Structure 1
Amino acid sequence: MVRLSYFIIFLFILIACSTNQRDSSEKNNSTKYARGFEITDYNSFKKITVFNPWEQAKKIAFSYYLMNKGQIIPDSLKKEKVIFTPIERVICLSTSHIAFLDAIGETAKIKGISGSQYVNNNEIRNKIQSGEVVDVGYDSGLNYELILQQKPDLVLVYGIGSEVTTYVRKMEDLGLTVFFIAEYLEESPLGKTEWINCIAPLFGKEKEANLFFKSIESKYNLLKEKANSITEKPEVLVGLPYRDAWWIPGGKSYLSNLIADAGGDYIGKDNSLDESYVVSFENLLTMAGNAKVWLNVGSVKSKAEIIATDERFAKFPSFNNARIYNNNNRMNPSGGNDFWESGAVYPDRILHDFINIFHPGILEDSELIYYREIN
C-alpha cells in the first residue's frame, strides 16, 4: 500500500513536470527555398529561428517563441524571447518589410519606418505625410524616444554588419521586442519571397502568406520554364565600377540565379561566392568583351552619364555593343527605388523583365516593370 502511494505521488510529479516543459509535440515547417529561417510548430506555440542575419555572420541564431495573447508563459520559456501575437503595432526598419506586410494585408499595423524618403508604397507615403506613420531614423541615428512613443509590439530590423547588435541591444534594454528579417541575404529569388512565411505568423496571416507565396512560385517557375527552353543565351554584364574597383555579384548570388533563370549567361557565373566581389576594370574588359546585355549601372539614366563616371567607357566594347538597362524605372520623387521594396516580394516581375530584355518577343507582355533601357 505504501509502495502504491509512492507510485501515485511519483506519477503526479511526473505529469506536473511534463506540463511545465516545452511541448514535445512538434512539427518542423521546412522552407523550400529560404536558408535563413526555420519554423517549428508546437501545440501551444511556434518557434521561429533566424540564422546569420547579417553579412559575414557565422553560426549565429536568434530564436523567437510565438504565443497567442492571453497565454501564460511556461517556466521553460521565461528566459526566451516570447512574442505575443497577433501584432497590432509594428515598426519597419527596411522598405522591404513594408512590401511583405502589404502582401498579407497588414500595412495598417505599421506605425514607424526608417528612411521615409525611400518608401514607394503609396498608402505608407500618404500616412507619412499625415503624421500617422513616423520616420524613426536609421542605425546610429535611430530616435529611440520616438520609437517608444509609438508603443510598438514589435520592431522589424535588418543588419548589414554585426554593428546592428548594438542598436538591437539598446532597443531591448528599453523594453522593446525586436525581430530580425534577413531576406536580402538569400541566394534564391523565391527564397527571398519565402520570408513572407516567416513574417506572417507574427500577424496571424499564415494562410494568406502561403497562398501568396504559392502564387508567386507558380508564376516564377512558369516564366523560368519558358526562358530555359531557349538555347541561345546572351552574355550578361552587371554593375558599374567605383574608383577602378568593379563589384560584381558572385556566381551563386541572388542576381546570378535570376539571370540564369531568365536564360542569360552571366559573366561571373563560374565564381562560387554568394556575395559580390571585386574585379579590376582591366580584368573586366577581358571578361565582358562579348556581353550583349549590361544591367544595373548605378543611378545613371543615360549613356552620357556612364561616360561621365569614367571616360574609358567610350572604348569599352559592352558600352558600344551591348544593350544597357537599369533597374530604376520605378523611382519615387525622393529617389526611393521600388526594385528594392516590392521587388523583394515579386521576383516573378523581375524575371519577367529579364526575359523581355534577354529574349525580346517570347512573352506576350513586353512592357518592363522595374527596368528601363539606357540610351
Structure 2
Amino acid sequence: AGLMWGRSYEWHFPYVAKLLADGRVKDVGAAWAPDYEQLAAIRPDLVMIYTFPGDPLVSKLEELKLPYVVNNEYLETTLLGRFEYIKFVAVFFGLLDEANKVFRYVESSVQLTSSSSKRLVEANVVKPPKVLWFSVFRGTVYVAGGESYVANALTDLAAQYLFRDIKASGSRTVSVEELVARAVDADIIVISTDLITSAEDLLKEIPQLRESKAFQQSRVYRYNSNIFQLGYYATEDWFSELASVLYPAYFHDSAYDFFLSLR
C-alpha cells in the first residue's frame, strides 16, 4: 500500500503513523507529483486520487496502466455531502452496509444540532451570531465562499456568514480593507489555518482587527492542526463544536478541540 503525503504531516491516526513507520505503507510523495516509479513498484489494485484543473496525474496513471478512481469530496458544498463519501470508499472494501449505518448516525447527530441551534434563534433566546471566516498568508486574505460547506454549515446553525454574498463554493481572495470593514460587525472570527497560533501572529498580518468586536470580546478562534484529519473523521463533532463556538452557553466542546481560542 502507498500513501501520498505520507510523511508530510503529523498523523492523528496512530495506526497510520505506525504503518508508515514500519514500512508497511509507503510514502509515494506529493499528490500532484508522486514518485511514479515507486507507485508502479507497489503494483496497487487501485489508486484513489483527487483531481484539480491542469492536473497531469490522470494521464500519467493511464500511461502506467494503473487503475484509479477519483474521489473529489472536496467539491461538495455541505458537511454531510463531504462525509457521505464514506459510502463511496466503503464499496471497495465490501463495507457499504457498515458505512450506511455510520452515515445515518452522523446525519441524525448533525440534524439534531442544527435544529437545536435554529430553535434558540427562532425563540429569540439568542441573536444569530455574525461570523467572519478566513485565513491570511503573507498579506493575502482568503475567505470561504458564500456557497461553500463552511457557509452552509453556519447557515444550518442559524448564524450569519458575513461573506455569504460571494458566489463561490471554494475560497476567494479579498482585500484587507474589505475584510476589516466587515469585521466591524463580526461577533465571532474563525481563522481557518493552524499556521497562526496567537493573537500577536494575526495582528502582525492585520493590525486593524484589534479594534473589532470579536477581538474586544475574545471571540476569535483558530483551527487546531487535528481538524484536517479528524475533522472529516468526526464530522458530527466538528459541527457540534462549531455550535459551541457560536452558542457557548448552550453547547459543549467536543473532545477534539478543533477550534482553539486565539490568545
Q: Which runs of 5+ in 1 are unaligned?
A: 1-110, 329-336
353-362 vs 143-152, which deviates more?
A: 143-152
Are positions 1:138 and 2:30 aligned together? yes
Match of 2:100 among 194, 207, 210: 210
CA distance, structure 2, for counterparts of residue 366 and residue 175 of structure 1: 44
Deviations 1:83-123 (A, max 9, x none): xxxxxxxxxxxxxxxxxxxxxxxxxxxx1111123232110
> After the TM superposition, which parts of structure 1 deviate over 6 Å for at least 4 consecutive aligned residues?
none
Give the superposition deviation at 1:167: 1.8
Structure 1 counterpart of 2:132:
237
Q: Would you say the 8 A contact 2:130–2:162 is kept in 1?
A: yes
CA distance, structure 1, for counterparts of residue 211 and residue 25 of structure 2: 49
Structure 1 counterpart of 2:124:
none
Structure 2 counterpart of 1:277:
172
Structure 1 residues 124 and 181, CA gap change in structure 2 (3 angstroms)? same
Structure 2 counterpart of 1:247:
142
Match of 1:258 among 127, 131, 153: 153
**TM-score between the two structures when normalised by the length of structure 1:** 0.64
Structure 1 residues 227 and 139, CA gap change in structure 2 (3 angstroms)? same
CA distance, structure 2, for counterparts of residue 259 and residue 265 of structure 1: 7
Q: Which runs of 5+ in 2 are unaligned?
A: 122-126
Q: Name the Cα RMSD after superposition.
A: 2.0
CA distance, structure 1, for counterparts of residue 200 and residue 50 of structure 2: 36
Secondary structure class of the residue paired with 2:120: coil
134-143 vs 183-192, which deviates more?
A: 134-143
Are positions 1:301 and 2:197 aligned together? yes
Match of 1:319 among 215, 224, 233: 215
Structure 2 counterpart of 1:162:
53
CA distance, structure 1, for counterparts of residue 30 and residue 207 of structure 2: 36
Figure out how many residues of one structure are paired with residues of the other and give that number.
Answer: 255
Match of 2:38, as an amino acid?
L
Are positions 1:359 and 2:254 aligned together? no
CA distance, structure 1, for counterparts of residue 32 and residue 197 of structure 2: 32
CA distance, structure 2, for counterparts of residue 140 and residue 268 of structure 1: 30
Question: Which residues in structure 2 correspond to 1:216-231 (within 5 Å)?
Answer: 216-231=106-121
Secondary structure class of the residue paired with 1:191: helix
Give the superposition deviation at 1:315: 4.1
Are positions 1:181 and 2:41 aligned together? no
Q: Would you say the 8 A contact 1:263–1:358 is kept in 2?
A: no
Give the superposition deviation at 1:364: 5.3
CA distance, structure 1, for counterparts of residue 188 and residue 256 of structure 2: 15
Give the superposition deviation at 1:162: 2.2
Structure 1 residues 367 and 209, CA gap change in structure 2 (3 angstroms)? closer
Structure 2 counterpart of 1:68:
none
Q: Would you say the 8 A contact 1:248–1:276 is kept in 2?
A: yes
Secondary structure class of the residue paired with 1:240: strand
Question: Which residues in structure 2 correspond to 1:190-209 (within 5 Å)?
Answer: 190-209=80-99
Match of 2:54, as an amino acid?
E
Secondary structure class of the residue paired with 1:233: coil
Match of 2:175, as an amino acid?
S
Q: Would you say the 8 A contact 2:142–2:173 is kept in 1?
A: yes
Match of 2:96, as an amino acid?
E
Q: Would you say the 8 A contact 1:239–1:247 is kept in 2?
A: yes
CA distance, structure 2, for counterparts of residue 137 and residue 366 of structure 1: 33
CA distance, structure 2, for counterparts of residue 262 and residue 272 of structure 1: 20
Q: Would you say the 8 A contact 1:263–1:355 is kept in 2?
A: no
Q: Would you say the 8 A contact 1:292–1:322 is kept in 2?
A: no
Q: Would you say the 8 A contact 2:131–2:161 is kept in 1?
A: yes
**TM-score between the two structures when normalised by the length of structure 2:** 0.89
Give the superposition deviation at 1:318: 4.0
Q: Which has the larger radius of gyration?
A: 1
Deviations 1:230-284 (A, max 9, x none): 1111111111334544221111110011112223211012333222222211122
Match of 1:304, as an amino acid?
E
CA distance, structure 1, for counterparts of residue 170 and residue 117 of structure 2: 25
224-233 vs 261-270, which deviates more?
A: 261-270
Give the superposition deviation at 1:300: 1.4
Question: Which residues in structure 2 correspond to 1:48-67 (within 5 Å)?
Answer: none
Structure 1 residues 183 and 361, CA gap change in structure 2 (3 angstroms)? same
CA distance, structure 1, for counterparts of residue 210 and residue 145 of structure 2: 26
Match of 2:239, as an amino acid?
L
Match of 1:127 among 19, 34, 40: 19
CA distance, structure 2, for counterparts of residue 284 and residue 235 of structure 1: 14
CA distance, structure 2, for counterparts of residue 143 and residue 362 of structure 1: 49
Secondary structure class of the residue paired with 1:304: helix
